């Protein structure tokens, strides 16, 4: 179907005016887009860091970078990817989509929303400022080098002179406040601004899962913030919370950190589940199987994930009973997760599958996340964890979860909703290139890490001796890293090219069912001319198929 190019293009306003428009905007859609652009920007930085890491590990006794630099690289990579790539990407999707999906004109607190975004962005900038300002309080320093978890006592003034650790604390603190405002705003929006008829039970699954996600943020981030303030006090005011030499406790830091850090894993995973729950049914041409069980299992995951943090601490020497409890709780979380995987698979079953790029990424998510989940169950067994903790096996596991899980799903979302946000389709051919490069590169990179990990290669070593059989696996990993980098390059080209040249999308290019497809692409600043009235979980289906609407069945 050919649609003519829009003709009413008024001459574009000058650059300064346009920039001013972005800086002052309180439109949830523009803020969402800014979050996404921020995320892609930091993806490049985090990617460059890891390419460096992988080149260093190419061969035994390599001297490309020094040990100190290596420490900075993996710290910056981990911190960047988690706080400044995955989190803003989630906030971006949620901001852009949720008011549209619930039929609202805006979020509950538009100005606070803008504030949250700028806090996240400035947080990221503070982190990278550390590369430029070396000389500071103690006369040394540069990028943080204590890992993304910043374990005590490494972060005490005695072990981390200079202010690099301060940059890590302040960056995550500032962006954390931004994340918290985002979550509060989201809860208020979902609770109070749904279109008439959209009962809680009729929320699209993405919205439901983001609601649980926002609650997780509200519970997990404040303790983290508190821990960071305590650490700042340790470093600058002579408090001794985590200073083992003055009676403080390093274990306390671990508890506080992982009390945040484990739920954080689910904070990054739930939005991915939400995206998959939107993409899979539309591209299978079927109703999602088990709407209720999917929603309920999300809630269960939310609760259980708050009670498993100490599985990151099996090796610090807690007592047996505690280990047993956290081990069992961790096994338990496999159940609601298994239910979800089953529901998605059952939705695929017998569907008329359309293998467009978003669907490919969704299928990639399903298989990669499954592998990550299985190794996660293995790690929940205490003796297994004792054996492979802090080895490359662990690095493989969490990348299958975070990258194979979150990032693959987020890519599915990117291809799925890009037409809504820009009015143009992403190019399918390039999309498929991106997908295959990313899938192959991903497995080349991370699958061998299972093996090198089992062979005893510890994580965070900057080099290793020859003759331990590790070289070949590291080389495969490095090649994989470059393949993946090529995939992302294709993605960037596609994003830019399609913005100008992509096929005109129209309002509803995928023949989908949720409300965001009822507005124009891109939507007007007020989203809808008239607020839609909802009768079922698939309001657009009802309109498209008056002979068999959903509400008779629900």
Region binding Cu ion by CB under 5 A among candidate stretches 75-83, 178-186, 221-229, 259-267: 259-267
Q: Which does 320 bind (CB under 5 to 8 A by kind): Cu ion, ligand HEM, other proteins, none?
A: other proteins
* Residue 399 binds to ligand HEM (criterion: CB under 6 A): yes
Can you list the pairs that 535-540 forms with residues at least 24 positions away whose Cβ atoms lie under 8 Å?
535/197, 536/202, 537/202, 537/203, 537/204, 537/291, 538/287, 538/513, 538/514, 539/513, 539/514, 539/515, 540/508, 540/512, 540/513, 540/514, 540/515
* DSSP tag of 424: B
Candidate residues 215, 342, 436, 482; the one interacting with other proteins per rule CB under 8 A: 342
> Please, which residue, 291 or 434, has the CB nearer to ligand HEM?
434
* Residue 291 binds to other proteins (criterion: CB under 8 A): yes
Give, as ranges, the residues between 528 and 547 that touch other proteins (CB under 8 A): 528-530, 532, 540, 543-547
Distance of alpha carbon 238 from alpha carbon 133, whole angstroms: 24
Which residue has the CB atom at the shortest distance from Cu ion? Answer: 262
> Please, which residue, 241 or 488, has the CB nearer to ligand HEM?
488
> Please, which residue, 134 or 147, has the CB nearer to ligand HEM?
147
* Residue 59 binds to ligand HEM (criterion: CB under 6 A): no
Three-class SS of residue 458? strand
* Residue 409 binds to ligand HEM (criterion: CB under 6 A): no
CB of 405 closer than 8 Å to CB of 372: yes
Candidate residues 349, 354, 472, 499; the one interacting with other proteins per rule CB under 8 A: 349
Q: Which does 262 bind (CB under 5 to 8 A by kind): Cu ion, ligand HEM, other proteins, none?
A: Cu ion
Least distance to ligand HEM from the beta carbon of 76, Å? 9
CB of 533 closer than 8 Å to CB of 515: no
Q: Residues binding ligand HEM: what is the number (CB under 6 A)?
A: 23
* Residue 155 binds to other proteins (criterion: CB under 8 A): no
* Residue 74 binds to ligand HEM (criterion: CB under 6 A): yes
* Residue 10 binds to other proteins (criterion: CB under 8 A): no
- Residue that has been written with the tokens 């988690």 in this structure: 82
- DSSP characters for 175-234? HHHHHHHHHHHHHHHHHH-PPTT--GGGS-HHHHHHHHHHHHHHHHHHHHHHHHHHHHHH
> Please, which residue, 185 or 443, has the CB nearer to other proteins?
185
Biggest CA-to-CA distance, the chain? 75
Least distance to Cu ion from the beta carbon of 401, Å? 9
Q: Residues binding other proteins: what is the number (CB under 8 A)?
A: 97
* Residue 94 binds to ligand HEM (criterion: CB under 6 A): no
| DSSP-assigned beta bridge partners for residue 391 | 458
* Residue 397 binds to Cu ion (criterion: CB under 5 A): no
Where would I find the beta strands (DSSP E) of 323-396?
Answer: none
Least distance to Cu ion from the beta carbon of 177, Å? 24
* Residue 550 binds to other proteins (criterion: CB under 8 A): yes
Least distance to ligand HEM from the beta carbon of 254, Å? 14
Q: Give the 3-state secondary structure of 479-521.
A: HHHHHHHHHHHHHHHHHHHHHHHCCECCCCCCCCCCHHHHCCC
Least distance to ligand HEM from the beta carbon of 156, Å? 18
Candidate residues 161, 286, 432, 503; the one interacting with other proteins per rule CB under 8 A: 286
Q: Which does 74 bind (CB under 5 to 8 A by kind): other proteins, Cu ion, ligand HEM, none?
A: ligand HEM
* Residue 99 binds to other proteins (criterion: CB under 8 A): no
Residue 179: which of 139, 214, 132, 212 has the closest Cα? Answer: 214
* Residue 402 binds to ligand HEM (criterion: CB under 6 A): yes
Pattern 111-130, other proteins, x by CB under 8 A: xxxxx--xx-xxx-xx--xx
Give, as ranges, the residues between 319 and 338 that touch other proteins (CB under 8 A): 320-321, 323-324, 327-328, 331-332, 335, 338
Distance of alpha carbon 482 from alpha carbon 274, whole angstroms: 30
Can you list the pairs that 355-358 forms with residues at least 24 positions away whose Cβ atoms lie under 8 Å?
355/283, 356/283, 356/415, 356/428, 356/431, 356/510, 357/415, 357/426, 357/428, 357/431, 357/432, 357/434, 357/435, 358/279, 358/283, 358/412, 358/413, 358/415, 358/416, 358/510
Pull the structure tokens for residue 319: 């007592």
CB atoms within 10 A of CB 477: 23
Give, as ranges, the residues between 449 and 478 that touch ligand HEM (CB under 6 A): 459-460
> Please, which residue, 86 or 348, has the CB nearer to ligand HEM?
86
CB atoms within 10 A of CB 151: 14
CA 306 from chain centre, in angstroms, equals 18
Candidate residues 36, 38, 45, 81; the one interacting with ligand HEM per rule CB under 6 A: 81
Candidate residues 54, 235, 262, 291; the one interacting with Cu ion per rule CB under 5 A: 262
Least distance to other proteins from the beta carbon of 316, Å? 12
> Please, which residue, 26 or 451, has the CB nearer to ligand HEM?
451
Candidate residues 69, 249, 367, 387; the one interacting with other proteins per rule CB under 8 A: 387
Pull the structure tokens for residue 191: 């609770």
Backbone angles phi, psi at 398, to 5 degrees: -75, -20
* Residue 508 binds to other proteins (criterion: CB under 8 A): yes
Least distance to other proteins from the beta carbon of 61, Å? 26
| CB environment 299-314: b (16+ within 10 A), e (fewer) | ebbbebbbbbbbbbbb
Distance of alpha carbon 518 from alpha carbon 206, whole angstroms: 17
- Residue that has been written with the tokens 């008329």 in this structure: 352
* Residue 484 binds to ligand HEM (criterion: CB under 6 A): yes
Provide the binding-site residues for Cu ion, judged by CB under 5 A: 262
Name the residues that contact ligand HEM, by CB under 6 A.
50, 53-54, 74-75, 77-78, 81-82, 85-86, 147-148, 395, 399, 402-403, 407, 445, 459-460, 481, 484
């Amino acid at each position: 179907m050919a649609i003519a190019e829009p003709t009413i293009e008024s001459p574009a306003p000058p650059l300064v005016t346009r920039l001013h428009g972005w800086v002052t905007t309180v439109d949830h859609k523009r803020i969402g887009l800014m979050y996404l652009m921020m995320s892609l920007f930091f993806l490049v930085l985090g990617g460059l860091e890891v390419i460096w890491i992988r080149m260093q590990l190419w061969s035994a006794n390599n001297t490309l970078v020094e040990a100190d630099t290596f420490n900075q690289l993996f710290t910056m990579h981990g911190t960047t990817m988690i706080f400044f790539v995955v989190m803003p990407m989630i906030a971006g999707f949620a901001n852009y989509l949720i008011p549209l999906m619930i039929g609202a004109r805006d979020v509950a607190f538009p100005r606070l929303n803008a504030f949250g975004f700028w806090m996240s962005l400035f947080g990221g900038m503070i982190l990278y400022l550390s590369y430029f300002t070396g000389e500071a309080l103690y006369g040394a320093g540069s990028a943080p080098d204590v890992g993304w978890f910043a374990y005590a006592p490494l972060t005490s003034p005695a072990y981390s002179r200079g202010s690099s650790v301060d940059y890590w604390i302040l960056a995550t603190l500032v962006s954390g406040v931004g994340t918290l405002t985002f979550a509060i705003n989201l809860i208020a929006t979902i609770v109070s601004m749904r279109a008439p008829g959209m009962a809680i039970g009729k929320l699209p699954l993405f919205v439901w899962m983001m609601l649980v996600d926002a609650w997780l943020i509200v519970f997990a981030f404040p303790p983290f913030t508190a821990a960071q303030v305590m650490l700042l006090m340790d470093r600058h005011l002579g408090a001794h919370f985590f200073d083992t030499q003055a009676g403080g406790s390093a274990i306390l830091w671990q508890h506080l950190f992982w009390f945040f850090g484990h739920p954080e894993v689910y904070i990054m995973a739930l939005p991915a589940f939400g995206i998959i729950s939107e993409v899979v049914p539309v591209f299978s041409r079927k109703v999602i199987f088990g709407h209720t069980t999917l929603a309920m299992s999300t809630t269960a995951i939310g609760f259980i994930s708050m009670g498993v943090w100490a599985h990151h601490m099996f090796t610090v020497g807690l007592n047996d009973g505690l280990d047993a409890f956290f081990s069992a709780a961790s096994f338990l979380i496999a159940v609601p997760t298994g239910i979800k995987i089953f529901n998605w698979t059952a939705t695929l079953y017998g569907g008329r599958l359309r293998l467009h790029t978003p669907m490919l990424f969704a299928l990639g998510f399903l298989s990669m996340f499954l592998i990550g989940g299985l190794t996660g169950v293995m790690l929940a067994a205490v003796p297994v964890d004792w054996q492979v903790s802090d080895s490359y096996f662990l690095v493989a596991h969490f990348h299958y979860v975070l990258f194979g899980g979150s990032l693959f799903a987020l890519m599915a979302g990117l291809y799925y909703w890009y037409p809504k946000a820009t009015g143009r389709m992403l190019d399918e051919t390039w999309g498929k290139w991106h997908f295959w490069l990313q899938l192959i590169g991903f497995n080349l990179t991370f699958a061998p890490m299972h093996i090198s990990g089992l062979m005893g290669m510890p994580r965070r070593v900057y080099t290793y001796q020859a003759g331990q059989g590790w070289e070949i696996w590291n080389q495969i990993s490095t090649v994989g890293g470059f393949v993946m980098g090529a995939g992302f390059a294709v993605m960037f080209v596609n994003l830019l090219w399609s913005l100008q040249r992509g096929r005109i999308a129209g309002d509803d290019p995928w023949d989908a069912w949720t409300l965001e497809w009822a507005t124009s692409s891109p939507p007007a600043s007020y989203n809808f001319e008239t607020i839609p009235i909802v009768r079922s979980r698939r309001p657009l289906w009802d309109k498209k198929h008056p002979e068999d609407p959903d509400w008779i069945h629900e």
